A and B are shown apart, each in its own frame.
Chain A
Amino acid sequence: MLAELVQHIVNGLIVGGGYALMGIGLTLIFGIMRVVNFAHGEFFMMGAFFLFTLFSLWGVNFFLASVLSVIGVGLVGAVVERVILRRLRLQPIEIPMLATVALSVIIQNAAILLWDPSPKTIRHVFSPLPLTLGPIHVVSIRIFAGLVAVALILGSHLLIQKTRIGRAMRATFQDTDMARLTGVDVDKVYMFTFAFGAALAGASGALLGAVFWVYPAMGDLAALKSFAVVIMGGLGNFLGAIVGGLLLGVSESLGAGYISSGYKDAIGFVLIILLLLWRPQGLFGKKVIHR
């Protein structure tokens, strides 16, 4: 009994790490740029497909291919910011939002044309045999995915707290006009933020794509879940995205194990509705007072 519970929690934490990565990207983009990125699921999907193409089709080394995939998604993000979002910065919030919706239609259909809609697997380099610790069994690719997620989360934290660009990001987050006055290149911060957020989504997609399946519509559900994650944690809240992601992963895993696997994907949203009854601003969000 207990072993089963722990097994569910471990599985949930590993998937939750992927959710947290997506959530961090989304929450940074929203917090700094005030853009709700509906193309986030497509960045996730691109991460998986880039890895599939580089590793499974072209035979590039798995680890190198992973790194290149993430960088590739980041570059796409930078281009999107420069070409599309920068022009819409002064529009009301729904305009850039719809632009990302349009973008998601474009990217997903381009993926269908480039790689056909059938699901694919990435035959990664890890042994298919599970590692066993007492009664808990975890296949090694999942351990790899979990560790990389942890490393990326820590890395993002360090980047934001310790580096120059991170400091500029925090300044822009607090007050864009003030940041600009004190010499922060806000354009650069926006571009970097969007690229970085996209890259995190891409990393999440590459990791979970290697564990599960790769197909053009894989980003739809992932995007919805990352929305759930950031609402739970509070929009624009870094720590909230991590806690929200892990919470969602674990509760889904427990829900699928103990309640019903059909409703597994609804759990996050039911959690949100319950949470909103109690704390409308999310777990870590600050209460917004009338302007």
Chain B
Amino acid sequence: MRSRAVWSAVLAGVVLALPFLGVDDYYLHLLIMAGLFFLLAAGMNLLLTAGQLNLGHTAFFGIGAYASALLSLHFSLSPLWTLPTAAAFTGFVGYLLGRLTLKLRGAYFVLVTVGFAEVIRLVATNWMDLTQGPMGLAGVPPFNLGTERWTLVSKRDYYYLMAVTAGGTLFLTSRLLGSRVGRALAAIQSNESLAESSGISAYTHTMLAMVVSCTLAGAAGGFYAHYITFLSPELFGFQNTVTMAVMVVAGGQGMVLGPAVGSLVFTFVPELLRMATFYRMLLYGVILLLVVMYMPRGLVFYLKALLRGRAGAPVSSEDAGAGFAPEALVHGDSAALAVRGVTVRFGGLAAVDDLSLGLGRGEILALIGPNGAGKSTAFNVITGFQAADAGRVEFDGADITGLPPYRIAERGLVRMFQRTSVFPEAPALANVLTACHRLARTRLWELIFLTHAYREEERRHRERALGLLHFVGLGRKVGEAAKNLSCGEQRLLGLAIALAPDPSVLLLDEPAAGLNAVETGELMHLIETIRGRGLSVLLVEHDMKLVMGLCDRVVVLNYGVRIAEGTPAEIQRHPEVVRAYLGSGEILADA
């Protein structure tokens, strides 16, 4: 932490001193352009952290540029006012486009943003009255600090203005990416369903990233307009977006310094290629291709790996979080869950048919049935991942039918998924920390300005995460990436993730799948402890030893219909249950 502050101060000193170290105007101009592209790339990176690549980003750059230029030309306002206004307006346009497109994922989002930029380009080219079309907008006033007397003239003036702006952007993006917002964005990319079921709204967070990134692009556009003082529709060209995307990806996506390094390198590389004259763009393409092919995770990633390799990776095998008692971490006020007459049809087939069940406070209830009986569908309805065609789900007396998953999780109803219930790329600790999201009470500005309350909250959540990892027996695997854990360990990590939001009701979808007998025993003990702390548990499970040994009651589904309910002992003798399982024979053989 301390060394980071020192490095930042040194870097800031170098940046501020550069114009006095004999750097001439040509290089100052390049540095200004690199700064400009940094604003654009940093914004793009923010959204890409959530897995959304905006390949129409240059449209926002252009919108900001034209907005600030037109405002200052037509109303003779100082760029000091028009630039922020233009940035805010661009952010608003980003909000509108986000409303329309953020529900799209992956390639769809990419292609729609490409199309958006093309529409804006055509408007800028054809709306002659406003933009003067392809002739371009000339005579945009240079930047001033409120009055014309304080007009920025030299490259050095603009260099300092850009240094401050870029510094601010670096600060803002590093705070966002280094806080729970960044964790949430990464979680959305890594496992969106799990993020939602941990109480993270994918929409809200991607929208935040979209608006911030578009506002930054608008600011960059405004800066460009008053710096260059001439605008043309070429600003909206696809080539610009490509340059930004290259800077992000080649620099290192998802990392704070990625766009900074990327924008510096890829502003200077084309300049170095000038001596290649005719072959310049061709060479540029080849360099691009080589970087993408051989450094897909970006320069910063490989630099970091290099540095870490030399310093030796920090290895810690101590059992972290050992000092925490589970009482402090797990305490349900045990709300009750009631499912009333829920029906789900896929086509003509009823996957779940008029299902009703009640989960009492502090109870462990198992939902069992042969494959395809509708157990997972029932789980999906309860947790908001699947709409019901009929029926209601009540949680703690309130109707939660049709609420989005993250809202249901916010209320304290949290699930664990069947297969991947982890964020594979992230370390175990970050996995659990991410899922503490719903417990956060601090505001956005608090995390940006690192207030005392925010730092305290982060510390508490960190301790909580460590404690939970210790509780499930992963205290020695804190720094291990989730994907490197064994199958059993991943299930345990999934359980810790599900406990992180401090739920009162826990839904476990086949928690023992893939576990050996010893691990299953440990898991049963954990679930028993959790219930002892007052949580209610609803689980789907095929392992009959676990079901019969752990549960208070069992509900049996077959072809979507509830065929039996009772204590484990009653269920084992129930004639219809025996008939449903006949052939598989698993229920009696295993128990």
Q: CB-CB contacts of A101-144 with B at 8 A, as 1s and 0s?
A: 11111100110110000000000000000000000000000000
Q: Cβ of B288 and Cβ of A227 under 8 Å apart? A: no
**Chain B CB within 8 A of A91 CB:** yes
Known: A98-B246, A220-B238. A106 touches B286 (CB 8 A): yes
Closest chain B residue, CB of each to CB of A35: B107
* Range for the number of chain B residues in contact with chain A: 35 or more
Q: CB-CB contacts of A258-278 with B at 8 A, as 1s and 0s?
A: 001011011011101100110
Q: Cβ of A36 and Cβ of B292 under 8 Å apart? A: no
**Chain B CB within 8 A of A290 CB:** yes
In the bound complex, CA of A92 to CA of B297 (Å): 10
The smallest beta-carbon distance between A267 and chain B, in angstroms, is: 9
**Chain B CB within 8 A of A291 CB:** yes
In the bound complex, CA of A89 to CA of B123 (Å): 38
Q: Which of A58-66, A164-172, A207-215, A228-236 lies at the interface with chain B?
A: A228-236
**Chain A CB within 8 A of B103 CB:** yes
Closest chain A residue, CB of each to CB of B125: A262
User: Residues of A within 8 Å of B, CB-based: how many?
Assistant: 48
The smallest beta-carbon distance between B300 and chain A, in angstroms, is: 16
Q: Cβ of B126 and Cβ of A276 under 8 Å apart? A: no
**Chain B CB within 8 A of A84 CB:** yes
Q: Cβ of A36 and Cβ of B110 under 8 Å apart? A: yes
The 8 Å CB contact of B110, one of A97, A228, A277, is: A97
Known: A94-B249, A291-B193. A36 touches B107 (CB 8 A): yes
Q: CB-CB contacts of B375-390 with A at 8 A, as 1s and 0s?
A: 0000000000110000
Q: Cβ of B293 and Cβ of A109 under 8 Å apart? A: no
**Chain B CB within 8 A of A154 CB:** no
In the bound complex, CA of A85 to CA of B125 (Å): 36
- Inter-chain residue pair count (beta carbon < 8 A): 123
Q: Cβ of B119 and Cβ of A270 under 8 Å apart? A: yes
Known: A95-B296, A260-B126. A272 touches B115 (CB 8 A): yes
**Chain A CB within 8 A of B73 CB:** no
| Complex contacts, B278 vs chain A, CB 8 Å | 113
| Complex contacts, A30 vs chain B, CB 8 Å | 107
Q: Cβ of B107 and Cβ of A113 under 8 Å apart? A: no
In the bound complex, CA of A270 to CA of B123 (Å): 12
Q: Cβ of B53 and Cβ of A101 under 8 Å apart? A: no
**Chain A CB within 8 A of B319 CB:** no
| Complex contacts, A109 vs chain B, CB 8 Å | 281-282, 285
Q: Cβ of A94 and Cβ of B48 under 8 Å apart? A: yes
| Complex contacts, B193 vs chain A, CB 8 Å | 290-291
12 contacts between A and B (CB under 8 A): A94-B53, A98-B246, A105-B242, A113-B282, A231-B111, A235-B111, A262-B125, A263-B122, A265-B118, A266-B122, A276-B101, A280-B104
In the bound complex, CA of A87 to CA of B289 (Å): 12
In the bound complex, CA of A113 to CA of B279 (Å): 8
Q: A227-B111, A231-B108 are in contact. List 8 more A-B contacts (CB 8 A).
A: A99-B289, A109-B285, A230-B111, A235-B107, A273-B112, A273-B119, A276-B112, A277-B100
Q: Cβ of A269 and Cβ of B296 under 8 Å apart? A: no
**Chain B CB within 8 A of A181 CB:** no
Closest chain B residue, CB of each to CB of A96: B292
Q: Cβ of A227 and Cβ of B114 under 8 Å apart? A: yes
Closest chain B residue, CB of each to CB of A36: B107
In the bound complex, CA of A194 to CA of B108 (Å): 20
In the bound complex, CA of A228 to CA of B296 (Å): 28
Q: Cβ of B106 and Cβ of A265 under 8 Å apart? A: no
